[in-house]
């Protein structure tokens, strides 16, 4: 099968997701061992873990979008010819791009408010925007990846005609 050429390699998102998973594993293991031996737990570990899970999820979603592996209802997708599948791919990718562009704007407003109101995290007392600043960036990455999938599928429709 011919794999599409990408300007930005998917390895960026995949590497970020793997790094988040490795850090999650290390933090959780450290917290479990500390709790087992001292009956204490690290208060900061939950904040870091939630941040890492969000980044890992969005990075994984971006990689899945770039590879056109997002969730779709195969019942409708498989019921028809090649032209119908390509049109559904364009439609679905455009919807995903619009959704994540909107999410990027909303997350951007959240980050701006956190900076403006100088919100800090509960466990670490760090500025909260340090944790949420990655969300709009990764949503933009997903929107751009999805727009790329839609563009490539639309070009295939034009080439088929």
What residue segments make up the domains of the chain, in order of their start? 11-160
Q: What is the pLDDT along the chain (161 residues), one digit of tens a residue?
A: 455 666 788 999 999 999 999 999 999 999 999 989 998 878 788 899 999 999 999 999 999 999 988 778 788 888 888 899 999 999 999 999 999 999 999 999 999 999 999 999 988 899 999 999 999 999 999 999 999 999 999 998 877 76
Whole-Å CA distances, 153 to 45, 94, 138, 160: 43, 11, 23, 11
Q: Please, is 122 exposed, middle or buried when counting C-beta atoms within 10 Å of its C-beta (0-12, 13-18, 19+)?
A: exposed
Q: Give the whole-angstrom CA distance, residue 129 versus residue 94.
A: 29
pTM: 0.88
């Amino acid at each position: 099968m011919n794999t599409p050429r990408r300007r930005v390699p998917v390895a960026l998102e995949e590497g970020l997701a793997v790094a988040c998973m490795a850090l999650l594993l290390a933090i959780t293991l450290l917290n479990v061992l500390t709790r087992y031996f001292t009956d204490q737990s690290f208060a900061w570990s939950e904040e870091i873990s939630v941040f890492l899970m969000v980044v890992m999820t969005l990075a994984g979603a971006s990689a899945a979008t770039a590879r056109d592996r997002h969730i779709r209802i195969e019942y409708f997708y498989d019921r028809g010819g090649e032209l119908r599948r390509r049109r559904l791919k364009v439609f679905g990718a455009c919807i995903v791009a619009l959704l994540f562009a909107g999410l990027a704007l909303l997350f951007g407003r959240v980050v701006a408010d956190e900076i403006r109101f100088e919100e800090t995290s509960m466990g670490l007392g760090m500025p909260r925007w340090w944790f949420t600043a990655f969300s709009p960036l990764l949503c933009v990455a997903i929107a751009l990846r999805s727009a790329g999938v839609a563009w490539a599928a639309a070009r295939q429709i034009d080439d088929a005609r």
